[in-house]
Structure 1
């Protein structure tokens, strides 16, 4: 395991990206580390790229931590290239390094491997996370860019800076870089002075292609990230509309068009919003949600009908509505599903989803609840109640056939008096609610350790940090119970017993 990112304090301690975690902890025993979430980084990079589109429509992510901007004919709107880069970094909330060149590959190499300092406007700021922002100015030959201090950089000076870049800027495999260093080739200028044919014969055509791209001798196109078109439809009426049924018919027509758009984009709507505009300028907004992505107009229009019928304040058209807009304000991927041979596949699950949608529309988000699993193994807090619209079908952990759980849990667990073998034997006799139960069969223990990183949770008083030994027992009448001993004998001199569940 190696370090992938550091904060300012870790850098001051001498840690570096690429260092093994073991070496880092040997140097800094109190080091706090977190696992690298590559998916979260990718989502954040996409968000930042979308935000950069306010500066230029040509913005593309440069994984893992860069953004390419083509600011041709855009920089003067923000006070110049450097001012644009500084403003973009400040608004994004990150300390960034930036570079300018006539083509994307050179700007990327300069930003990542050039001797650059953070923009002056960001010095002294505490960075959330280091990011690299590459700017492609798209300038023709003979241009004059500016450096971080606002001084002009002639084409020849920038050409010299590119030639001074280390061979690491080509991002070749380590064995290829070692071969180049052994041959005495340290910078891109050293490579550019050699015949390209000889370099390709010895180090491969990929190295030559990367070198020519950075030097500007080969195109390095960028693919901008395009913002998805909003799912929205609107209509204006020649005459004001006052009938609710006509309004629902128009909503259904708009839904049909939006559902066709979602089908092409493999999306399904989760939240649909209708905005009605009256002739007197008043506006009315209606919103319905679905528990699963949907693009079925009939199903959605039923929800709007339920929504209108359940309004405490009836939909008052006044002198009539003269405009209407429908938007899908939340969508999720929805790919075509293969139907079953009998045509009944997924009917039960879809019926439950439709029922949840209708009840939620009628009674509100907090009117229909669903249990969901929690990330804990303590039984009494292993689930929570959430709005049915917020969570999907519960993905409960698979405990295996050897550790069944009772259908009915007591909340809180009830104390019992038990006679058991020492130190960790199952109960042989117990008294619960005034009745004596002789244990004829017992299975266990299933040991559940305390969660040392949490405070005391649950209902058993005075038991923070104690281990539980669970047993499945059966008494002489055939009734089956789930009991546990709270605490080991080495943890507490006198463990207590509790009844926690009843098996069917």
Structure 2
């Protein structure tokens, strides 16, 4: 029987017939003729639970899915927005039931207690069975043999004796249940540094009014950013409809921003570009704005008319193009963690990220902006052995004589990717004043392949 197929979940009609999860499928079919069953899809259940967690963010950003069928919500500081805890749970129940879900809810001071009260339907933590501690079948049986059937039988006894007899995990489970040990929530979404929202007493069906609310929220968020000494790089808005649908739109900026007007313009362009236009349906009942990515931003000096200082023209142009055309239509170089020159940058959509190396003041750049791909092989190279710079080489049909050289800059191969040879880079200048970036691929007498010389870049 251990290898038999068993029921993983049942609906209320099946439960009324005595069919419960864990029952062997053969026994279930023997009890009910014409029983309809479907294979359990654990992955689909997980995706559904995560989707419900995303929808529950309308109540609080602190939402943790707990497979296979539980959501833990920390509603501290948010219940009053729905008329209290009872109002919040009524709203959540109504929305879930409209989609065909059976819902059991419970309030408690700890996540473990809330889960157990909803699961077992007990009136208090003390009345919960010891199975609520989730210690496993073996320890549950051992607790029963010791005459301990409920959490109340345990919680008033010295926990040191419980730990000595049933293990430290049993004592920790009791402490977590009553709040004497930490039981943190790991939310599905990381809380953003800045977040503001507006809830409406009645659903609002006017899109222009909701967009005006978005502008007000942006102004509030920018004031909060100013108090933090930061600017936003990414702004995300979520529109919550009364039928449970949520629509999200995000914009990014090339530089940190804390003035609402340019971000309002970016959202206007992004909303106009949506394939699925913003549809109020039966009305919006909430709008939430988050700023998940921020960067330090020093205070700016306003003009005499108190207008905000204008941002760099290039950043503003990039932001408008991305908002109008989409991030995939505008590619920019992004810095990447690699010493290998051809891997030190990459083209990615949207605004640039990462810091670029800056040469010391009054010093020429260490590397050229223009690289040859692939590097050009040089012939007839005359160089000081083993580590000296080239003195002469042939480039195309002409010989090049070097009058100045700096280096080497030694770059080892990225061994974690694939084996390769060491490179020694030199900044050189020829008789005509051209400045070139040249490297020797391989080391004389220390690597198996004979070294070769390449031209990799040209300095402006």
Query: What are the residue-to-residue correspondences of 1:381-460 with 2, within 5 Å?
Result: 381-389=343-351, 392=353, 394-397=354-357, 404-417=366-379, 418-455=381-418
RMSD between superposed Cα atoms in Å: 5.1
Change (3 A) 1:149 1:54: farther
Stretches of structure 2 lacking an aligned partner (at least 5 in a row): 1-60, 77-108, 121-127, 169-174
Query: What are the residue-to-residue correspondences of 1:52-451 with 2, within 5 Å?
Result: 54=71, 69=110, 75-79=116-120, 80=128, 82-86=130-134, 119-120=135-136, 149-150=143-144, 152=148, 158=158, 161=161, 231-235=196-200, 241=206, 248-253=211-216, 255-256=218-219, 268=232, 270-273=234-237, 275=239, 285=247, 287-291=249-253, 294=257, 296-310=259-273, 322-323=283-284, 325-328=286-289, 331-332=292-293, 337-339=298-300, 352-389=314-351, 392=353, 394-397=354-357, 404-417=366-379, 418-451=381-414
- How big is each residue's C-alpha offset from its partner over 1:78-102, in whole Å with a ceiling of 9 and x where there is no partner? 344654443xxxxxxxxxxxxxxxx
Change (3 A) 1:430 1:314: same
Equivalent residues of 1:288, 1:361 under 8 A apart? no
- How big is each residue's C-alpha offset from its partner over 1:64-89, in whole Å with a ceiling of 9 and x where there is no partner? xxxx9475676343344654443xxx
Counterpart for residue 207 of structure 1: none
Cα deviation, residue 313, structure 1 = 7.9
Cα deviation, residue 321, structure 1 = 7.9
Stretches of structure 1 lacking an aligned partner (at least 5 in a row): 1-46, 60-67, 87-118, 124-144, 170-215, 456-463
TM-score by length of 2: 0.55
Cα deviation, residue 275, structure 1 = 3.9
Change (3 A) 1:69 1:272: closer
Cα deviation, residue 333, structure 1 = 5.0
Cα distance in 2 for partners of 1:290, 1:450 equals 35
Equivalent residues of 2:256, 2:297 under 8 A apart? no
Cα deviation, residue 338, structure 1 = 3.4
- How big is each residue's C-alpha offset from its partner over 1:223-276, in whole Å with a ceiling of 9 and x where there is no partner? 8869879743244889964xx766644543454456567778988582333649
Cα distance in 2 for partners of 1:249, 1:441 equals 64
From 430, 435, 438, give the equivalent of 1:480. Answer: 435
Cα deviation, residue 290, structure 1 = 2.2
Cα distance in 1 for partners of 2:236, 2:337 equals 32
SS at match of 2:440: strand
Equivalent residues of 2:251, 2:270 under 8 A apart? no
SS at match of 2:158: helix
Q: Count how many residue pairs are aligned between Structure 1 and Structure 2.
A: 328
Change (3 A) 1:259 1:237: farther
SS at match of 2:356: coil
SS at match of 1:489: coil
- How big is each residue's C-alpha offset from its partner over 1:91-149, in whole Å with a ceiling of 9 and x where there is no partner? xxxxxxxxxxxxxxxxxxxxxxxxxxxx336x9xxxxxxxxxxxxxxxxxxxxx97875
SS at match of 1:497: strand
Cα deviation, residue 57, structure 1 = 5.2
Counterpart for residue 456 of structure 2: 500
SS at match of 2:337: coil
Cα distance in 2 for partners of 1:235, 1:290 equals 27
Change (3 A) 1:423 1:363: same
